[in-house]
Structure 1
Amino acid sequence: MTQQGVRWTADQVLALAPDAASREAAGRLATAGPWSEVGSTDGGTVWGVCRGGGGGPYRTVVDVADASGPACTCGCPSLRCPCKHALGLLLLWAGGDGAVPEGEPPAWAERWVTGRREDAEAAAGAETAETEAAETGAAGAGAAAGAAGDPSGSVPRTRDPVAARRRAERRAERITAGATELEQRLADLLRGGLAEVEQTGYAWWEETAARMVDAQAPGLASRVRELGSTASSGPDWPVRLLEECALLHLLDQGWLRRDRLPQDLAATVRTRVGLPTTADGPAVRDQWLILAQYDSVDARLTTRRVWLYGTETGRTALLLSYGAAGRAPELTLPVGLSLDAELSTYPGGGRRRAALGKRFAPPAPVEIRPKGVTPSQALARYGRALRDDPWLESVPVTLEQVVPVPDGDSWQLADASGETALPLTPAFGNRAGLWRLVALSGGVPVQVFGECGHRGFTPLTAWPAGPGQAVSLT
């Protein structure tokens, strides 16, 4: 909120919710009834006191104008962030009907906001001082080394590079042993025939995945578990299982022959088997449009994906953040706003994934939309991406001028001419987002951002045909 007095939409507020239960609970609190002492400032602070069902009332404050992202505090005992009270208060504020008037914040709200911003400034100052001290110390150490007769002027490091290299080599050896074993197991599986898979049960797959964990190859372990869930999973499961086995075999061979691969493809293979990487690309500053945000949850981890579009560079980037099982990740960005920030890319084919660096301003409204393509161009883009990363499930694509239309028991997005169309993924056909998309279109072509892959197209965000803000479909 760099523009004073601009309020978020309800969709942008609900994009902050850590889960569906929080969205539902926030909706019940988005009325004036439970609230008292509510107010807001042009600077982006919203506060109120909510009548709680337990030990309330709860004092709630939300700061939506901080460059590091929206933050909140609440007196309730919830571990979710933001909690239902903070979300409900923001929904009440987003309504813009005078229910949350502007005014001076009470002392308890002012203390929290002031303290938080002072802590952020102090942390930023400490980081700058530390960087400057490190640079000064390095220069001084180099000069001292030169004076002592060391022509290289090298600076002693606290981390032993030789030991680090040996650890990396030992892990590579373990992964190689694991990949070799996995190749043998796949060969035995296919030699016996896929018909025997139904008799082996899930235990065989889990035991194989555990062996890959022991080999320090979590990426291989994850793919093995996916194979186990594919077996006996519905019509044509042997075809899908064989396809996934082929991709896993290709990944094994890529690792075993990684020295012969092009640099970017070798980096992709290392990432796919589970080796950690760092964002080594140069920092790129842009006004990043927040295209979409959604979570995927398994028994061990909650993964949050945030898609960004550079309004000046035209680049699409992916931010990944993680939380423990049942806990939402900390990174939260409201869909439809833009973020003035720096991003650095990770290695690998396509270089879509990025790390969020310095933020220069809080998220703010923007009128720009991403450039769109036709359904046939989207498929061509996915095909080109597979050349750089054969294991890629999908690519981010914005479709221009498409209409959701039924196709038997499923749906598809057809271009305005009706000549080409993309089927929607089966999973999306069972979501409420489908009906939001249909209602937004009303038979008129709209712009849709989503992920295009071999299973079809998954819409994530849509824009109306005329002027209007982004509508999240997740």
Structure 2
Amino acid sequence: MSWTYATLQAYAPNALVLNRARALFYGRRWEWTASDGDALWGLCKSTGELSYPVLVTLDGKAFHCTCKNRYRPCQHVLSLLLFFLRKNDQITPTDERPEWVRAAIRQPEARKADVIDAAQQEARLAKRIEEMKAGVEELDQWLRDLVRQGLSSIETAGPEFWERIAARMVDAKLGSVARRIRSFPNLLVQEQWHDELLGALSELYLFVQSFRQLEGLPAALQEELLSYGGVNIKKEEVLEEPSVSDRWLVVGLVEGEEEKLRYRRTWLVGEQTGRFALILDFVWGNGRFDGNWVLGSALQGELVFYPGTYPLRALLKRAQPYRQPMNDISLTAGGQEMLQGYAQALAQNPWLSGYPVLLGQVQAVWRSGEVVLLDARQMEIPVQTEGEHQWVLYAVSAREPVTVFGEWNGKALRALSVLGSGRVVQLQGPPPSAFDEADDLE
């Protein structure tokens, strides 16, 4: 085969895998490469201590990689071919094939099984996407009918009204969309329920219009849409992506339950990178979560982010406790900077549910019977707190400016913790008693 970038594109299973291959190539992940003129092989350093021996014959008929990626050929094989195209002069010529190369080439049946299995997985995903597309069309019609009738027509609608369309979305493999629809009745009890519901319906409509163009969108946006619809990526595949090393501070913890599924949302922020990371854990019923996150604790280690246009969700790859002060974490200067960052994040991911922010030098004050935050420029920032936590926030920041971590939703900051006097105080869950649950940053 005469390799060009065009033939490489045709050889790739999809644009997503090709983009990952480019990232490996430009990230200088290849420790060494060699070729005997008929086959090409090398060692690709993935993340941490993982390295993958990779082989591809130059006629394109055989390839080998030990990674667990569901797509074949995987990003490591494609990256090796990209290395062949772009840096051919750096490939070591040899007449001697290593034993593992000879063994891999001697296993045509195994390679055939890998290709068949990958093709089957690809076919299953393609079938699911077709089912999702059919569901998207039904969802589009439902949304249009709802708007034509007017939102007031559903003010007294019973649970069956929402369950009917939610069940149809489940049948169409749009499980995440179904869960969103089942949460809509909770919006109807709010004072400004028209605005809240219209915003939620508009988000679904944007999803509908985007999903119709799925194949023509950038790979990262395709991943975002599939994830929004309910397609999950296996943890094993995520962990093969490049990792981010840093010292991480636990700045937010939220636990809750949705349809008998308990969840835990753990927010981390990196001291050197300034990146936020969201660790999501789920258990059924009374099960116990894996690991024990402590608000205000710190760790040094590697995180791997799920693919997307504005990556936030991550997996912990490896870590160890970090017991030194973390004084260099970057903060958002004020409300205006927060709004600018939020606008930029929305431009990348319009379905962003919450924008994480560490607001520095803010003070809690009372305005019209509720707590708001004032930044250094005296800009008011609305705050959402639960129960007695508004008093906790007010008490901690009564004497001096503090740092508040929360999720901005476009209207208010859902405050999750407040950092002051070397401590992190939780603003979710049971209120602390005399702040005895606060944790030292050290």
Task: Give the TM-score, by structure 2 length.
Answer: 0.69
Structure 2: how far apart are the matches of 1:248 and 1:431?
Answer: 31
Tell me which residue corresponds to 2:177: 220
Tell me which residue corresponds to 2:127: 170
Structure 2: how far apart are the matches of 1:229 and 1:337?
Answer: 34
Structure 2: how far apart are the matches of 1:303 and 1:147?
Answer: 47
Q: Can you list the C-alpha shifts for 1:363-396, whole angstroms capped at 9, x where unaligned?
A: 5353325221211111111111111111212211
Structure 2: how far apart are the matches of 1:226 and 1:385?
Answer: 24
Structure 1: how far apart are the matches of 2:404 and 2:65?
Answer: 52
1:241 matched to 2:197? The reply is: yes
Deviation (angstroms), 1:277: 2.1
Structure 2: how far apart are the matches of 1:146 and 1:327?
Answer: 46
- Aligned residue for 2:350, secondary structure, equals coil
Structure 2: how far apart are the matches of 1:216 and 1:446?
Answer: 45
- Aligned residue for 2:423, secondary structure, equals coil
Deviation (angstroms), 1:227: 2.5
Residue of structure 1 aligned with 2:311, choices 351, 365, 374: 351
Moved more, 294-303 or 165-174: 294-303
1:406 matched to 2:362? The reply is: no
Residue of structure 1 aligned with 2:381, choices 422, 437, 454: 422
Deviation (angstroms), 1:210: 0.8
Tell me which residue corresponds to 1:457: 413
Tell me which residue corresponds to 1:125: none
1:470 matched to 2:416? The reply is: no
> Quick one: which amino acid aligns to residue 165 of structure 1?
E
CA contact (8 A) 1:322 1:328 kept: no
Q: Can you list the C-alpha shifts for 1:8-39, whole angstroms capped at 9, x where unaligned?
A: xxxxxxxxxxxxxxxxxxxxxxxxxxxxxxxx
- Aligned residue for 1:287, secondary structure, equals strand
Tell me which residue corresponds to 2:168: 211
Deviation (angstroms), 1:431: 2.7
Structure 2: how far apart are the matches of 1:132 and 1:258?
Answer: 31
Q: Can you list the C-alpha shifts for 1:172-216, whole angstroms capped at 9, x where unaligned?
A: 111111111111111222222222213432211111101111111
Structure 2: how far apart are the matches of 1:147 and 1:412?
Answer: 69
Structure 2: how far apart are the matches of 1:380 and 1:137?
Answer: 43
- Aligned residue for 2:121, secondary structure, equals helix
Structure 1: how far apart are the matches of 2:299 and 2:152?
Answer: 52
- Aligned residue for 1:200, secondary structure, equals coil
Tell me which residue corresponds to 2:145: 188
In the superposition, relative to structure 1, how do residues 225 and 140 fare at CA in structure 2: closer, same or farther (>3 Å)? farther
In the superposition, relative to structure 1, how do residues 234 and 289 fare at CA in structure 2: closer, same or farther (>3 Å)? closer
Deviation (angstroms), 1:145: 4.8
CA contact (8 A) 1:307 1:317 kept: yes
In the superposition, relative to structure 1, how do residues 197 and 262 fare at CA in structure 2: closer, same or farther (>3 Å)? same
Deviation (angstroms), 1:131: 8.8
Q: Can you list the C-alpha shifts for 1:219-238, whole angstroms capped at 9, x where unaligned?
A: 110121123332x3233322
1:340 matched to 2:294? The reply is: no
> Quick one: which amino acid aligns to residue 312 of structure 1?
Q
- Aligned residue for 1:196, secondary structure, equals helix
- Aligned residue for 2:155, secondary structure, equals helix
Tell me which residue corresponds to 2:24: none
Q: Which runs of 5+ in 2 are unaligned?
A: 1-47, 56-63, 67-97, 429-442
In the superposition, relative to structure 1, how do residues 159 and 229 fare at CA in structure 2: closer, same or farther (>3 Å)? farther
Structure 2: how far apart are the matches of 1:408 and 1:130?
Answer: 57
Tell me which residue corresponds to 2:155: 198
In the superposition, relative to structure 1, how do residues 370 and 432 fare at CA in structure 2: closer, same or farther (>3 Å)? farther
CA contact (8 A) 2:305 2:314 kept: yes
Deviation (angstroms), 1:140: 4.7
Q: Can you list the C-alpha shifts for 1:236-270, whole angstroms capped at 9, x where unaligned?
A: 32232222211111111111111232332222111
Structure 1: how far apart are the matches of 2:342 and 2:228?
Answer: 18
Task: Give the TM-score, by structure 1 length.
Answer: 0.65
Tell me which residue corresponds to 1:309: 269
Structure 2: how far apart are the matches of 1:311 and 1:131?
Answer: 27
In the superposition, relative to structure 1, how do residues 287 and 188 fare at CA in structure 2: closer, same or farther (>3 Å)? same
In the superposition, relative to structure 1, how do residues 137 and 327 fare at CA in structure 2: closer, same or farther (>3 Å)? closer
Name the Cα RMSD after superposition: 3.0
- Aligned residue for 2:183, secondary structure, equals helix
CA contact (8 A) 1:382 1:394 kept: no
Tell me which residue corresponds to 1:372: 331
Tell me which residue corresponds to 2:35: none
Tell me which residue corresponds to 1:60: none
Structure 2: how far apart are the matches of 1:328 and 1:423?
Answer: 35
Q: Which runs of 5+ in 1 are unaligned?
A: 1-127
- Aligned residue for 1:355, secondary structure, equals strand
Structure 2: how far apart are the matches of 1:331 and 1:317?
Answer: 16
Tell me which residue corresponds to 1:445: 401
1:143 matched to 2:89? The reply is: no
Tell me which residue corresponds to 2:243: 283
1:383 matched to 2:343? The reply is: yes
- Aligned residue for 1:234, secondary structure, equals coil
1:51-200 alignment runs, 5 A limit = 140=99, 142-146=101-105, 157=114, 160-200=117-157
- Aligned residue for 1:370, secondary structure, equals coil
Structure 2: how far apart are the matches of 1:133 and 1:259?
Answer: 31
Tell me which residue corresponds to 1:257: 213
1:323-338 alignment runs, 5 A limit = 323-338=283-298
In the superposition, relative to structure 1, how do residues 312 and 137 fare at CA in structure 2: closer, same or farther (>3 Å)? closer
CA contact (8 A) 2:418 2:427 kept: yes
Structure 2: how far apart are the matches of 1:380 and 1:130?
Answer: 38
In the superposition, relative to structure 1, how do residues 421 and 134 fare at CA in structure 2: closer, same or farther (>3 Å)? same
CA contact (8 A) 2:278 2:312 kept: yes
Q: Can you list the C-alpha shifts for 1:266-303, whole angstroms capped at 9, x where unaligned?
A: 22111111111252630122211121222122232111
Tell me which of the two structures has the higher relative contact order, counting C-alpha pairs closer than 8 angstroms and 6 or more residues apart.
1
CA contact (8 A) 1:402 1:413 kept: yes
Structure 2: how far apart are the matches of 1:369 and 1:213?
Answer: 46
- Aligned residue for 1:222, secondary structure, equals helix
CA contact (8 A) 1:299 1:325 kept: no
CA contact (8 A) 1:213 1:221 kept: yes
Moved more, 443-452 or 232-241: 232-241
In the superposition, relative to structure 1, how do residues 210 and 335 fare at CA in structure 2: closer, same or farther (>3 Å)? same
